[in-house]
Amino acid sequence: MPYKKLPRSFYLRPTLTVAKYLLGKLLVRRLGTQTLIGKIVEVEAYLGEKDPASHTYRGKTKRNEVMFKEGGHLYVYFTYGMHFCANVVTEREGIGHAVLLRAIEPIEGIELMRQNRGFTTGDSDKNLTNGPAKLCEALGIARNENGTDLLGNDIFIAAGETISRSRIAESQRIGIRKGAEKKWRFYIKGNNFVSVS
């Protein structure tokens, strides 16, 4: 496998820096004998105590304890009674920051992703992974994956395309009320798989 797993140090930097550098990287998910890969094209940063929209704004609870782990872990939460969303934990242990993965571009294992999403022939791949809950379903990420170490082999992130500064767009985050004025959403300009809106 030519994929180069990102080192722990990648995740220990400031959250907004990690968020931007995650664009273009490859999210690799091993499911049994299969490998599913998607290129990260859209993310949002959640800055803990500085951020009223963050789950960790009011400190540590049973639900968000994974966000306080050392950078490089996966925080998966359940929401709206039916969906899961995946975050990459950043910064050193004790800091409750994370980056929400909002959209990926399918690269490998597309057939299995379609199967996981319940797609039939005719459904376009465009809607396969262009949303935080969609990508989780496509990659088989759920409650059980909460707390997974991204330096292990089940789920990790590998070097991919380098996205130059001029190709990164920033905007307000999607679907939140508090902290909505912060422009902490980043995506690759013109990519067909961003969730837009």
Output the smallest distance, CB 61 to DNA, in A.
Answer: 3
Q: Which of 16, 53, 110, 142 binds DNA (CB under 7 A)?
A: 53
58 binds DNA (CB under 7 A): yes
Q: Which of 9, 80, 122, 190 binds DNA (CB under 7 A)?
A: 80
Distance CA 105, CA 145 (A): 21
Q: Which of 10, 23, 44, 148 binds DNA (CB under 7 A)?
A: 44
# of chain residues touching DNA (CB under 7 A) = 36
Which residue's CB is nearer to DNA, number 4 or number 58? 58
Write down the least CB distance from residue 81 to DNA, Å: 2
The reply on whether position 127 binds DNA by CB under 7 A is yes
4 vs 197, beta carbon nearer DNA: 197
Q: CA 178, CA 35: separation in Å to the nearest integer? A: 37
- Measured distance CA(177)–CA(93) in Å, rounded: 28
Nearer to DNA, 61 or 162 (CB): 61
Contact call for residue 70 and DNA (CB under 7 A) = no
Q: Please report whether residue 156 would count as binding DNA according to CB under 7 A.
A: no
C-alpha–C-alpha distance, residues 85 and 100, integer Å: 7
- Is 90 near DNA (CB under 7 A)? no
Alpha-carbon distance 147 to 72, whole Å? 10
**Residues 8 to 27 in contact with DNA, rule: CB under 7 A:** none
182 binds DNA (CB under 7 A): no
Q: Which residues of this protein are in contact with DNA, per CB under 7 A?
A: 44, 46, 53-56, 58, 61-64, 67, 75, 77-83, 85, 87, 98, 100, 117, 127, 131-134, 173-177, 195
